[in-house]
Amino acid sequence: MGAGDIIRLPYVYRVPLCRPFWSGRTYAALARCIGAGRVVYGPDIARLEARLAAFLGTPAAIACNSGRAALELALRATGVDAGDEVVVPTFCCASIIPPILAVGAVPVLADVGAGLTLTPETVEAALSSRTRAVVVAHLFGNPAPIEAIEALCRARGLVVVDDAAQALGAEVEGRRLGTFGDAGIVSFGNGKVCFGTGGGVLVSRERAVLEQARAVRFAPPAFASTLTRAAGVTVWRRWRRWSLPLQVALRRMLPAEAATAYAGRSMANLDATVASSLLDTLDANLAARRARVDEYRALLGDEVSWGLVPHAAGSACLTQVVSFHGGEHAALAVVKTLRDHGYEVDRSYRPLHLQSAYERHARGALPNAARAWPSLVELPCEPTVRMEDVRRIAEAVRAAAGT
């Protein structure tokens, strides 16, 4: 049986979705950590906090068990309170909602601009007298116009949270994302630039905010769930090429868990060890992602049938989003063709205001996001995707979109 036969087996993909970029050092660090009995407590947490603070240029960093927990910490540390409104983009991962609800605040969904992120105009349209904060998420590693949004918010006395969960290492004019606004976060969770065994980190340039964040007491991580999560990421995500068929079978037998649910805890040493090993390769990771974005642009460009959502200078290039002018029908055809060729690609986010669980958080129609999302497909940019595969993906896109 050749490789061609293997990829025709159901759920066995040549390039699985979001495969973490781990080196032998990541596995070695994991093994050392478990062998030394340092799963929950250990020196790697403080080490990771110090490294990230130095890398991002903040006085300190505070690690917790997820980006959602870091977001909750950011809201608590900046004084967001019960009943306050917090503006977030409707075109985003649903994970940003639970931390807002956890502090008793009210999420308010705002529309996005052509770059699929918040803009000063879409933020302004979502403000009310009860607005207390705006969470600016940089989707796909691509910087949102954070400086302009910050200027608008400063003039109104609003808190800005710089959500760089998807954009670790990205920068705007030499300043790293995560460090704008009053507080910021980065994540080592599922599908992120540094996809580790989980974890999130709060940063801020404001010492007072950092002090407030330190005063929030999260429970320590649990030994068993830390190990289970690390094993799950390793087997189901890192080894996804071979484990996906089993996962699909198990999923059919077991009840589904809400992907956005979380319990805020401090970071486990094991997660910090893995995250640190990923910081060692961050430069190579970013360079590879940017090279893949350049290659997609060279091979696909903007055509009559599609346009590539551009990455601004300094983007961390998490994925390359393509908008198909033939709408949802064309996007679905591209996804199917790519999957048939062994590439597990997906469409992009369905705007939150179009999902029954979140529609009550929108004040009115949010037309840009509603119009854009059906036509979108995300092409992979992980360093684990070889350039040869990028070329095959581009060819398959051309074939599917009929040019």
Ligand X SMILES: Cc1ncc(COP(=O)(O)O)c(C=O)c1O
Q: Footprint of ligand X on residues 108-137 (CB under 6 A)?
A: 137
User: What does the chain come to in residues?
Assistant: 403
93 near ligand X (CB under 6 A): yes
Burial class (CB in 10 A: 0-12, 13-18, 19+), 156: exposed
Cα–Cα distance for residue pair 118/111, rounded to 1 Å = 7
Cα–Cα distance for residue pair 217/270, rounded to 1 Å = 20
Pairing of strands 131-137, 319-324: unpaired
273 near ligand X (CB under 6 A): no
Q: Could you tell me which residues come within 8 angstroms of residue 185 by beta carbon, excluding any fewer than 6 positions away?
A: 67, 70, 71, 74, 161, 162, 163, 164, 165, 178, 200, 201, 202, 203
With CB under 6 A as the contact rule, the residue among 90, 122, 131, 187 that binds ligand X is 187
Cα–Cα distance for residue pair 93/327, rounded to 1 Å = 21
CB of residue 258 to ligand X, shortest distance in Å: 12
Cα–Cα distance for residue pair 16/342, rounded to 1 Å = 8
Q: State which residue, 53 or 318, has the beta carbon closest to ligand X.
A: 318
CB of residue 362 to ligand X, shortest distance in Å: 18
Q: State which residue, 18 or 29, has the beta carbon closest to ligand X.
A: 18
Q: State which residue, 178 or 342, has the beta carbon closest to ligand X.
A: 178
At 336, which amino acid appears?
K
Q: Footprint of ligand X on residues 192-211 (CB under 6 A)?
A: 200
Q: Footprint of ligand X on residues 22-81 (CB under 6 A)?
A: 66-68, 71
92 near ligand X (CB under 6 A): yes
Cβ-closest position to ligand X? 67
With CB under 6 A as the contact rule, the residue among 143, 184, 189, 380 that binds ligand X is 189
CB of residue 255 to ligand X, shortest distance in Å: 21
Q: State which residue, 93 or 210, has the beta carbon closest to ligand X.
A: 93
Binding-site string for ligand X from residue 132 to residue 151, where x marks contact by CB under 6 A and - marks none: -----x--------------
Q: Kindly report the number of other CB atoms within 10 A of residue 128's CB atom.
A: 10
Q: How many CA atoms lie within 13 A of 40 on its CB side?
A: 8
225 near ligand X (CB under 6 A): no
168 near ligand X (CB under 6 A): no
With CB under 6 A as the contact rule, the residue among 44, 163, 271, 344 that binds ligand X is 163
Q: Footprint of ligand X on residues 345-384 (CB under 6 A)?
A: none
Q: State which residue, 122 or 305, has the beta carbon closest to ligand X.
A: 122
With CB under 6 A as the contact rule, the residue among 58, 95, 204, 234 that binds ligand X is 95
DSSP character string of 306-340: EEEPPPPTT----EEEEEETTHHHHHHHHHHHHHH
Q: State which residue, 62 or 400, has the beta carbon closest to ligand X.
A: 62
Q: State which residue, 210 or 267, has the beta carbon closest to ligand X.
A: 267
> Near ligand X by CB under 6 A, which window of 160-168, 330-338, 358-366, 373-381?
160-168
Q: Which long-range contacts (CB under 8 A, 24 or more apart) does 219-224 make?
A: 219/263, 219/264, 219/265, 219/266, 220/40, 220/41, 220/265, 220/266, 221/40, 221/65, 221/265, 221/266, 221/267, 221/268, 221/271, 222/40, 222/265, 223/39, 223/40
With CB under 6 A as the contact rule, the residue among 119, 122, 166, 277 that binds ligand X is 166
Spell out a b/e string for 237-268, using b for 16 or more CB atoms within 10 Å of the CB, else e: bbebbebbeeeeeeeeeeeeeeeeebebbbbb
Q: State which residue, 135 or 400, has the beta carbon closest to ligand X.
A: 135
Q: State which residue, 67 or 169, has the beta carbon closest to ligand X.
A: 67
Q: State which residue, 319 or 323, has the beta carbon closest to ligand X.
A: 319
Q: What is residue 218's DSSP assignment?
A: P
The residues binding ligand X (CB under 6 A) are 66-68, 71, 92-93, 95-96, 137, 163, 165-166, 187, 189-190, 200
